[in-house]
């Protein structure tokens, strides 16, 4: 098939059996690739109610039809599994160079099944696929090990690796690649660790078939040209995602002290220009990227180097913990990367623990003697280590904020900031109804990258509860994740303002199939609804209550900053959900109706 590697590679870790099957053409037609393949395999192959850390769960790693080709940022790879953090659907996107190499090895999806009896790493060099002993690697830090593997195998091999957090069962462990890119959310690294796979080492040398080479050249060059000529290119490249730190602070969206406010009085020391001047030494990009947003930094105080921190990490390990020095945030970032745990969830659980401590819910006895106040940098570093090793208070926090709060109780559930068990990423949503709804209804839990709707809130009135806002969220949820299906970065469209229609001839030239964005959005809608069915199948009591945000966002208006005193009330939260379900074609409890399933060709799968 044009645009595809052509194979699904399955590795049964329990038996060591390795098989290849041709990528099914009907799956490619209906789900296209990447996140679509992951959602389809998860729903159809992982038995209902499977233990996320058990034999039956699978880790599904998928490229898309644009991956590895001459398209801006065509290095996006999807990791799908049943989440040990939420118990529902998890899908995490990874940039860098891994997926391109997968495609060159002829692989569209790599599916890890079963559990290995001992630590292994998976070695792939085109047709050569082997499980090799990784006993000596077990316990090593993710960045340290990647460096060693690069030295051992050579630069052309791409590597995905877990750290101690994934080995030890931290529910939000990530998978590291390219020394600072991560498949970060939902515990995909936890599942890899449970399967006893420490690393994947990968190289491919094959060509990817393209339907119309001339059109491919012309249309992809048009895309690159548009990126190069974009007005925003220079600024985006200079600051990357940290471009929004100051904006978030100014509009009251910067998570501050466990999301109790959206503006940080010391926020200016975390802004992009300060970081650029103090620590950034070079820019770093993913495969085929004309607008590298990665920032590689030298952290003088700690004599260390790290990729980042990017905005989400600055928000969650900086202002959310009351930490104002960018060097401290960068070092916390490095600790999480090396230990293999998600910076967003880590910042959230520590923020919750700090609030518990300041309110007397947790004491020094619980913290192992740590003075766990907001702004305490050494205590933060210590706690990151303890979480990754699941020691002391770290063991409680390693389950994620929802379970930790349920265990501790004493009212702490009210300021555990999550939806469906996934910690909310770095936008405070007391007073931004579209962004709040985007978090409430996101298909993995409270993650921002499906529908980044906060700018729309600012444009049309942030307190409004209206059908156009709901329609905007739904459109973004159907459309934006399609980049994760195609296997390319969305940020050229989001940040540089590239016309999305420029992707249409490129996709057609590569695959030989004409698809409009309306066609692609229908695939996006199909995947969204399939994932909703998955949640219901896995969680017996799944209903609209699972879409509610943390009570902090409808009960506790911030006391400081530009959103002081502002909040969305509970009735408006429920109205947003009613509107959303209606527009989605879902029932009052938030499940796709039979008509919706039929319209999206999902009726057969649903039964």
Residue with smaller CB distance to ligand SF4, 291 or 320: 291
Residue whose C-alpha is closest to residue 336's, from 519, 189, 118, 199? 189
Residue 572 CB-density burial (10 A; 0-12 exposed, 13-18 middle, 19+ buried): middle
DSSP codes, 440-486: HH-BTBS-SSS---HHHHHHH-TT---HHHHHHHHHHHHHTTHHHHH
Selected from 88, 285, 322, 481, the binder of ligand SF4 by CB under 6 A is 285
95 contacts ligand SF4 (rule: CB under 6 A): yes
Smallest gap, in angstroms, from Cβ of residue 96 to ligand SF4? Answer: 8
The one segment of 290-298, 367-375, 410-418, 434-442 that binds ligand SF4 by CB under 6 A: 290-298
Residue with smaller CB distance to ligand SF4, 240 or 549: 240
Residue with smaller CB distance to ligand SF4, 59 or 243: 243
Residue with smaller CB distance to ligand SF4, 43 or 236: 236
Q: Which helix (H) or strand (E) holds 281?
A: strand 280-284
The one segment of 61-69, 224-232, 283-291, 584-592 that binds ligand SF4 by CB under 6 A: 283-291
Residue with smaller CB distance to ligand SF4, 164 or 294: 294
34 contacts ligand SF4 (rule: CB under 6 A): no
Residue with smaller CB distance to ligand SF4, 289 or 509: 289
The one segment of 48-56, 281-289, 411-419, 527-535 that binds ligand SF4 by CB under 6 A: 281-289
Question: CA 428 from chain center: how many Å?
Answer: 18
289 contacts ligand SF4 (rule: CB under 6 A): yes
Site for ligand SF4 in 302-341 (CB under 6 A): none
Smallest gap, in angstroms, from Cβ of residue 291 to ligand SF4? Answer: 5
Residue 588 CB-density burial (10 A; 0-12 exposed, 13-18 middle, 19+ buried): exposed
Residue with smaller CB distance to ligand SF4, 286 or 336: 286
Eight-class DSSP state of 424? P
Q: Could you give the CA distance from residue 81 to residue 191 in angstroms, rounded to a whole number? A: 8
Smallest gap, in angstroms, from Cβ of residue 68 to ligand SF4? Answer: 13
Contacts of 245 (CB under 8 A, 6+ apart): 254, 267, 270, 271, 272, 311, 314, 315
Smallest gap, in angstroms, from Cβ of residue 442 to ligand SF4? Answer: 19
Residue with smaller CB distance to ligand SF4, 88 or 96: 96
Selected from 8, 286, 393, 577, the binder of ligand SF4 by CB under 6 A is 286
Residue whose C-alpha is closest to residue 377's, from 321, 320, 443? 321
Selected from 62, 63, 83, 291, the binder of ligand SF4 by CB under 6 A is 291
The one segment of 111-119, 282-290, 391-399, 576-584 that binds ligand SF4 by CB under 6 A: 282-290
Selected from 171, 201, 293, 465, the binder of ligand SF4 by CB under 6 A is 293
CB 317 within 8 A of CB 346: yes
The one segment of 227-235, 284-292, 321-329, 379-387 that binds ligand SF4 by CB under 6 A: 284-292
What are 464-467's contacts with CB under 8 Å, separation 24+? 464/433, 465/433, 465/568, 465/572, 465/575, 465/576, 465/579, 467/579, 467/583
What are 266-271's contacts with CB under 8 Å, separation 24+? 266/319, 266/324, 267/319, 267/324, 269/324, 269/325, 269/326, 270/245, 270/314, 270/318, 270/319, 270/324, 270/326, 270/329, 271/242, 271/245, 271/246
The pairing of strands 294-299 and 280-284 is antiparallel
What does residue 594 show for φ and ψ, rounded to 5 degrees? -60, -40
Q: Could you give the CA distance from residue 184 to residue 308 in angstroms, rounded to a whole number? A: 14
Smallest gap, in angstroms, from Cβ of residue 308 to ligand SF4? Answer: 12
CB 499 within 8 A of CB 226: yes
Q: For ligand SF4, which residue has the nearest CB?
A: 73
Q: Could you give the CA distance from residue 124 to residue 11 in angstroms, rounded to a whole number? A: 11
Residue with smaller CB distance to ligand SF4, 91 or 291: 291
Q: How many residues bind ligand SF4 (CB under 6 A)?
A: 11
Selected from 491, 509, 520, 577, the binder of ligand SF4 by CB under 6 A is 491
Residue with smaller CB distance to ligand SF4, 1 or 77: 77
Site for ligand SF4 in 35-94 (CB under 6 A): 73
DSSP codes, 118-183: S-EEEEEETTEEEEEE-TTTTT--HHHHHHHHHHHH-TTSEEEE--HHHHHT-TTB-EEETTTEEE
The one segment of 52-60, 254-262, 287-295, 346-354 that binds ligand SF4 by CB under 6 A: 287-295
The one segment of 135-143, 286-294, 365-373, 555-563 that binds ligand SF4 by CB under 6 A: 286-294
Residue whose C-alpha is closest to residue 187's, from 164, 170, 167, 199? 170
Site for ligand SF4 in 107-136 (CB under 6 A): none
Smallest gap, in angstroms, from Cβ of residue 449 to ligand SF4? Answer: 11
End-to-end CA distance of the chain: 30
Selected from 52, 294, 308, 558, the binder of ligand SF4 by CB under 6 A is 294
Residue with smaller CB distance to ligand SF4, 146 or 495: 495
The one segment of 54-62, 209-217, 220-228, 291-299 that binds ligand SF4 by CB under 6 A: 291-299
**Dihedral (CA of 10, 515, 99, 490) sign:** negative
Smallest gap, in angstroms, from Cβ of residue 500 to ligand SF4? Answer: 15
CB 160 within 8 A of CB 98: yes
The one segment of 161-169, 195-203, 285-293, 505-513 that binds ligand SF4 by CB under 6 A: 285-293
Smallest gap, in angstroms, from Cβ of residue 483 to ligand SF4? Answer: 9
Q: Could you give the CA distance from residue 557 to residue 574 in angstroms, rounded to a whole number? A: 18
Residue with smaller CB distance to ligand SF4, 188 or 289: 289
Contact residues for ligand SF4, defined by CB under 6 A:
73, 95, 285-286, 289, 291-294, 489, 491
């Amino acid at each position: 098939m044009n645009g595809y590697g052509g194979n699904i590679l399955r590795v049964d870790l329990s038996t060591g059996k390795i098989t290849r099957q041709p990528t099914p053409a009907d799956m490619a037609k209906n789900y296209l690739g990447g996140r679509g393949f992951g959602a389809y395999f998860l729903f159809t192959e992982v038995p209902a109610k499977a233990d996320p850390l058990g034999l039956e769960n699978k880790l599904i790693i998928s490229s898309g039809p644009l991956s590895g080709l001459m398209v801006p940022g065509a290095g996006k790879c999807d990791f799908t599994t049943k989440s040990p953090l939420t118990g529902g659907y998890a899908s995490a996107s990874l940039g860098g160079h891994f997926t391109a190499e997968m495609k060159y090895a002829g692989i569209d999806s790599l599916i890890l099944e079963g559990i290995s009896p001992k630590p292994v790493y998976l070695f792939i060099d085109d047709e050569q696929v082997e499980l090799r002993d990784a006993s000596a690697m077990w316990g090593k830090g993710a960045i340290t090990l990647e460096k060693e593997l690069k030295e051992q195998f050579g630069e052309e091999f791409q590597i995905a690796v877990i750290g101690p957090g994934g080995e030890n069962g931290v529910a939000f462990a990530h998978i590291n690649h390219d020394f600072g890119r991560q498949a970060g959310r939902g515990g995909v690294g936890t599942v890899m660790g449970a399967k006893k796979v420490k690393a994947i080492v990968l190289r491919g040398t094959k060509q990817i078939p393209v339907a119309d080479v001339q059109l491919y050249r012309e249309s992809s060059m048009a895309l690159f040209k548009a990126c190069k000529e974009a007005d925003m290119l220079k600024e985006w490249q200079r600051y990357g995602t940290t471009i929004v730190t100051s904006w978030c602070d100014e509009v009251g969206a910067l998570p501050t002290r466990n999301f109790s406010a959206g503006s940080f009085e010391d926020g200016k020391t975390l802004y992009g220009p300060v970081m650029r001047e103090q620590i950034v030494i070079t820019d770093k990009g993913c495969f085929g990227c004309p607008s590298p947003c990665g920032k590689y930094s030298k952290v003088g105080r700690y004599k260390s180097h790290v990729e980042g921190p990017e905005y989400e990490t600055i928000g969650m390990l900086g202002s959310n913990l009351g930490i104002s020095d960018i060097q401290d945030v960068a070092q916390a970032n490095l600790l999480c990367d090396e230990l293999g745990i998600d910076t967003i969830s880590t910042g959230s659980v520590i923020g919750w623990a700090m609030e518990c401590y300041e309110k007397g819910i947790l004491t020094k006895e619980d913290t192992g003697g740590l003075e766990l106040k907001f702004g305490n940098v050494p205590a933060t570093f210590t706690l990151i280590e303890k979480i990754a090793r699941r020691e002391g208070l770290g063991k409680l926090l390693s389950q994620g904020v929802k379970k930790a709060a349920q265990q501790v109780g004493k009212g702490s559930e009210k300021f555990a900031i999550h939806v469906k068990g996934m910690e909310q990423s770095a936008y405070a949503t007391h007073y931004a109804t579209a962004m709040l709804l985007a978090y409430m209804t996101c298909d993995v839990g409270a993650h921002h990258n499906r529908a980044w709707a906060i700018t729309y809130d600012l444009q049309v009135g942030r307190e409004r509860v209206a059908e156009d806002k709901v329609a905007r969220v739904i459109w973004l949820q159907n459309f934006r994740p399609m980049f994760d299906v195609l296997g390319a970065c969305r940020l050229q469209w989001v940040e540089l303002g590239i016309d999305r229609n420029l992707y249409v001839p490129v996709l057609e030239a590569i695959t030989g199939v004409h698809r409009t964005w309306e066609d692609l959005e229908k695939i996006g809608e199909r995947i969204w609804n399939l994932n909703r069915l998955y949640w219901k199948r896995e969680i017996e009591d799944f209903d609209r209550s699972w879409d509610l945000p943390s009570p902090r966002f409808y009960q506790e208006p911030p006391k400081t900053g530009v959103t002081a005193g502002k909040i969305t009330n509970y009735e408006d939260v429920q109205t947003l959900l009613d509107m959303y379900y209606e527009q989605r074609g879902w029932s009052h409890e938030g499940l796709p109706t039979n008509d919706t399933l039929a319209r999206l060709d999902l009726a057969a799968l649903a039964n």
